[in-house]
A and B are shown apart, each in its own frame.
Chain A
Amino acid sequence: SAVISQKPSRDICQRGTSLTIQCQVDSQVTMMFWYRQQPGQSLTLIATANQGSEATYESGFVIDKFPISRPNLTFSTLTVSNMSPEDSSIYLCSAGQYGYTFGSGTRLTVV
């Protein structure tokens, strides 16, 4: 199965700034998925990203806040924009037809 490298593993950011999270897959995949896991909570799907098309966002998530890029079949980025303390979470990507290979997550703390 695919292996995903996710960076950064953690970051502490000032409110009002943006952070871009990267996921690199070691093989070509059609679909990539981005999730948010708030402290002590379950995973919530933010959006799905298919190469060559606009990402599809779930209810409650908007492109201006969480822009996603998918330039090729092995790479995707998620940007968390204009951050506030409420954005402090773990962000995870996954990939594959069924999305069950995950990156190791990015722990984001906004101060």
Chain B
Amino acid sequence: AQTVTQSQPEMSVQEAETVTLSCTYDTSESNYYLFWYKQPPSRQMILVIRQEAYKQQNATENRFSVNFQKAAKSFSLKISDSQLGDTAMYFCAFMSWTSGTYKYIFGTGTRLKVLA
């Protein structure tokens, strides 16, 4: 069975600094996607970044980038130049599909607070 582990329940970072959130996963699937989602207090789930497992190149979206280590089953999120608006819960998620059947597993989340 697939699992997703986020070992940092809470983190804080000074505004304009860089922070890295950790995520590890376990799967025997060969085709899958990994995601980082942001959930601010409004509870709206917002996609931050996604990574296709078959791509070796790490995904980047503006200030957000990932370090995808497929062999180690690690998928960390780096936030550069942190902003107050980055304060939120961050969830790492794994998705796979087999014969039209989807599996979507979320980690337990990391609460990030950006300090002024």
A interface list, Cβ under 8 A from B: 31, 33, 37, 41-45, 48, 50, 56, 90, 92, 94, 98-102, 104-105, 107
What are the 5 tightest A-B residue pairs by CB atom distance, in nearest-first order? Answer: A102-B45, A100-B47, A43-B106, A42-B106, A105-B43
B102 and A99 form a contact (CB under 8 A): yes
Nearest CB of chain B from residue A26's CB, rounded to whole Å: 16
Q: Which residues of chain B from 7 to 66 have any CB-CB distance to chain A below 8 Å in the complex?
A: 33, 35, 37, 42-47, 50
Bound form: Cα–Cα A42–B93 in Å: 10
Size bracket of the B interface: 20 to 34
- SS of B interface (majority): strand
Once the chains bind, are B101 and A99 in contact (CB under 8 Å)? no
The smallest C-beta distance from B109 to any residue of chain A, in angstroms, reads 6
Nearest Cβ on chain A to B102's Cβ, whole angstroms = 5
Chain A residues within an 8 Å CB radius of B101: 48, 56
A45 touches B44 (CB 8 A): no
Q: State in angstroms the CA–CA spacing of A100 and B93 once bound together.
A: 10
